[in-house]
Structure 1
Amino acid sequence: MKFTSRLKAAIFCFTMISAATFAQAPAQEKIEVSDTELGQVAKAFMGIQQVNAQAQQEMVKTVEESGFELERFNELYEASVATDKNVEASSEEKEKFGVVMNQIQNKQASFQKQMEDAIVKEGITIERYQQVAVVLQSDKDLQQRLQAILTAGQQ
């Protein structure tokens, strides 16, 4: 149960970072992606996942070191992004929440740079990675090809 709460907290924290990391490109028609290029995308994706895991750990650590319980921090975070949620908080708690959010946001640029580096390291441009990522959302064949590469890479 505690691990689930920690994971939930990390996901909520990281959501605000990853949402801004790679802006969605406009939806596109089907594009040609070679096996080599898809392999580059797969390796970049795995690199981004590693950065994501590191970022989650660092954000959880930041929240815990501030003295917040992760569950309480999540309640405050959810209330800060959802206009229909209202959570009671003391002025001291609101101030502490603001400080922690600033600390997390200050780390965002570093995590974004690491994600971009993970893409470029694989020999693919960020723009092309984004283009393939957008097409992957709706192209089932491309999804299956990527999944096969990712599965083979884990064995």
Structure 2
Amino acid sequence: MNWLELIRRILDIRFIRFAIVGGLGVFVNQAVFTVIYAVFATATEPVRANIAAVIGFVVSCFTNFLANDNWTWRDRRRTETSFFRRLVMYYFVALGALTIQLLTLNLFITLEWTSPWWANLFGIAAGTGSNFILNHFWTFRQHNGHQQT
């Protein structure tokens, strides 16, 4: 595979759509994180940031699923798989990304590298690659002998 082919595959329109949806999801996640972080102002730092991160994840994951199901992987929507099952599969994949996010968040907070807000943002970025790959090849995989795109 030559370099141009590799770049084309990396910048595939599906990943661009995923990134756009993810960007909106980051906005939702960070907005919810900021509000919840303020609400739990009396909690200790690691607990406060983790509660805010998990609630931000749950909300943004749902909005991201809706957008990815209806736009990013619309052509792969499996008629034999219900909306609820796809949603559960999506959340299962996202739990892996959340694990990466929380590990990054807690590492950055513990080592005092940056603020909790930025630590959460770095954590989201760290989980993006695994999230795309697993959703592409499992949650929204092609069926009926169609070629993977």
Give TM-score scaled by structure 1 length: 0.38
- Which of these two proteins has the greater Rg computed from alpha carbons? 1
> What is the TM-score of this pair, normalised by structure 2?
0.39
Relative contact order, higher structure (CA 8 A, sep 6+): 1
